[in-house]
């Protein structure tokens, strides 16, 4: 099963849910910031700090990223600050003016808020990153709660995360819609039994549209309103 979510189905998903769980980076905010930060700004700073050949520093860093992908460490600013010996908080603050909404995301949130459904932001981002991004984008005003998976001790792609989130929020999986841009995360939500699981096909506005298999998908969150 896959593919683009037809307008009618999207409208039905929307009608049938009372809780909407939304990811932050790559779903509401443009992943081009994070891709630039981790793939360009951090390697550049590290090469400068270490004084080694930029290409070699970069390759070793990317190998380290690959080893940690999908773990809480991967999303943890403290972990990378410690491992790399860089002041990543300062670097993130200094580049926070680059943080942007994805096209149509802000308008979607305004409409979603007017619908009266319960809106909860659920992110793997570290609590401090979440605060920086809320501060810049004003994202917090649309949500009843903004939660970081770090507070639950496991990332969204793990099976343990979902019952803990349900304990905290008390949502009914049959009446819940969950939107994210990460396939392993969507798989975990589906295995837990969330009724409406939807992928975002363009998490980075500067990258090409992705193909998504095994999940319903929209190009951006605006497609959820069945437009």
**For binding to Mg ion (CB under 5 A), which residues are involved?**
23, 25-26, 181
The residue count for the chain: 227
Catalytic residue among 16, 87, 172, 174: 16
- Classify residue 35 by burial, with Cβ atoms within 10 Å: 0-12, 13-18, 19+: middle
Which residue's Cβ has the minimum distance to Mg ion?
26
In this structure, the dihedral spanned by the alpha carbons of residues 123, 126, 132 and 138, taken in order and rounded to 10 degrees, is 20
Report the nearest approach of Mg ion to the CB of residue 100 (Å).
Answer: 14
Nearer to Mg ion, 26 or 196 (CB): 26
- In angstroms, the Cα distances linking 161 to 148, 188, 189, 199, 209 are 11, 9, 9, 19, 29
Active-site residue, 30 included: no
Token look-up 């999303």 returns 75
- In angstroms, the Cα distances linking 202 to 53, 208, 220 are 33, 7, 6
Nearer to Mg ion, 112 or 157 (CB): 157
Report the nearest approach of Mg ion to the CB of residue 56 (Å).
Answer: 30
Nearer to Mg ion, 58 or 156 (CB): 156
Nearer to Mg ion, 17 or 102 (CB): 102
Report the nearest approach of Mg ion to the CB of residue 156 (Å).
Answer: 9
At 217, list the tokens.
């998908």
Where in the sequence numbering do the catalytic residues fall?
A: 16
């Amino acid at each position: 099963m896959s593919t683009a979510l037809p307008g009618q189905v999207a409208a039905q998903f929307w009608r049938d849910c009372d809780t909407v769980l939304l990811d932050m980076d790559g779903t509401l905010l443009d992943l081009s910031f994070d891709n630039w930060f981790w793939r360009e700004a951090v390697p550049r700073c590290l090469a400068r700090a270490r004084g080694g050949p930029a290409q070699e520093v970069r390759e070793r860093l990317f190998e380290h990223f690959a080893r940690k992908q999908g773990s809480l460490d991967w999303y943890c600013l403290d972990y990378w600050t410690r491992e790399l010996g860089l002041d990543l908080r300062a670097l993130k603050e200094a580049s926070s003016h680059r943080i942007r909404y994805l096209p149509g995301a802000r308008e979607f949130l305004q409409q979603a808020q007017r619908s009266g459904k319960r809106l909860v932001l659920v992110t793997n981002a570290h609590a401090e990153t979440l605060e920086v991004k809320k501060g810049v984008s004003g994202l917090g005003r649309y949500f009843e709660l903004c939660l970081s998976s770090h507070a639950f001790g496991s990332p969204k792609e793990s099976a343990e995360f979902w019952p803990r989130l349900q304990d905290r929020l008390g949502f009914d999986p049959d009446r819940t819609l969950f939107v994210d841009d990460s396939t392993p995360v969507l798989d975990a939500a589906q295995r837990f039994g969330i009724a409406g699981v939807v992928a975002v096909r363009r998490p980075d506005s500067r990258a090409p549209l992705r193909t998504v298999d095994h999940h319903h998908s929209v190009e951006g969150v605006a497609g959820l309103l069945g437009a």
